[in-house]
Amino acid sequence: MNTGKVYLVGAGPGDPDLITVKGANAIKAADVIVYDRLVNKKLLDYAKPLVKLVYCGKLPDRHIIPQEEINKILVSHALQGKTVVRLKGGDPSIFGRVGEEAEFCVENGISFEIVPGITSGIAASTYAGIPLTHRDFSSSCAFITGHKRTDEVRKDIQWDKLATSIDTLVFYMGVGNIGMIQEQLTKHGRSPNTPVALVRWGTTEEQETLVGTLQDIVRKVEEAQFRSPAIIVVGEVVKLRDKLAWFQEKGASMVKLAHA
């Protein structure tokens, strides 16, 4: 039996129309699809009728299937000659553990391809009317993981350099640690008046945006009971939201048309 192949595919940020053509084609060809919690289920409509679906969604505090087991699932099906698609929300290389899965394929002699996707840090902020760069506000941006099981300070992040050297900061999986993020940024020199936005369920009909400053964002998150999944954008570009919130305006226009 010939060995199959694994495709590590970025499903995009939530809006199913944002899947790449190559990603959609991989789903169509798949014999097995191993997919995450944040993948829009409409993308599975591309799949063949008899495709095997394996759900391995991850909650912030609990993994339904451990990463090591996911690695083995991909390889075991490929060894049976199957075309396997590992479908991940956003882009697989941005906090998506694609490196670990690709390494496991290499170690087991399995051919693989990585299909990039649109990461939520770019897509959710853009749908909220916040471009991450702008000639008047930002010439640099950084993606940072804000996730940790406790509210301890992330020792692997150089807060003293990050706080003031990058114009726009985008934190993934950081809502539960917003207090720690705020504290470290202001402690290391970021102005308390720096605009902050949280975008929840970006690019979907459920998208919500909460805006404040480093000084008051923790209180606003608590008052609004704002929960994950959401990205956090820190920087002057957040000021553009009032002018550029096109997706919000699109939704309002659709409501008006529906009632016309």
Q: Which residues are the active-site residues?
A: 36, 58, 173
Long-range contacts of 66-69 (CB under 8 A, 24+ apart): 67/97, 67/100
How far is Cα 187 from Cα 209, in angstroms, rounded to an integer?
26
- Contact criterion met (CB below 8 Å) for 161 and 184: no
Residue 95's CB: how many other CB atoms inside 10 A?
A: 19
Name, in order, each residue with C-beta under 8 angstroms of 84's C-beta and a sequence gap of 6 or more: 4, 5, 6, 7, 30, 31, 32, 33, 34, 74, 77, 78
Q: Which of 206, 257, 254, 259 is nearest to 230 (CA)?
A: 206
**210 and 224 in contact (C-beta within 8 Å)?**
yes
d(CA 98, CA 7): 10
Q: Distance between CA 83 and CA 111 in Å, rounded?
A: 10
